[in-house]
Amino acid sequence: SYTEFGAFIAFFATIVAIASVFLALFFEFKILPRTPMGKQLFMSGTIKDSTTYVKAGDDVVGQIGRTVTALGPTGFVLLGSRKLEAASKSGFIEKNEEVRVTGKDNFRITVSKL
């Protein structure tokens, strides 16, 4: 707008654009959360369930378990009475197959088909 209308109009357009950004941010964070639609858009609660952190020690490596779901490549494995999230090293594994635990990280175990 500078070349067509001059410096004053270009400056005015820039100020209007910056003010519009601040107005939109104010509306988004101060007014919108109080509206019925805003209450559906913003998370207001906390998660009360446990995390997906693997609650298994290093002793699980080498154990044999059974798949609860198909692993393609991730799913769930039953080790004794514990249901753990697992990733397959040997591709797709059907449900109810025996697997051996080959590794473990913070979030899941790694298994391979027997």
Q: Which CATH architecture has domain 58-113?
A: Beta Barrel (2.40)
- Residue spans per domain, the chain: 2-41, 58-113
Closest CA to 56 of 113, 104, 88, 110: 104
Query: Residue 111 — pLDDT band, cuts 50, 70, 90?
Result: very high
Any residues with CB less than 8 A from the CB of 86 and at least 6 apart, and which? 67, 71, 74, 75, 76, 77, 99, 101, 108, 109, 110, 111
19: pLDDT strictly greater than 90: yes
Which tens digits make up the pLDDT trace of 22-80?
Answer: 999 999 989 998 899 988 888 777 766 665 555 667 788 999 999 999 998 899 999 98
Q: Provide the token pair at 83.
A: 């249901």
List strand residue ranges (DSSP E) for the chain, in order: 64-67, 74-79, 82-88, 98-104, 109-113
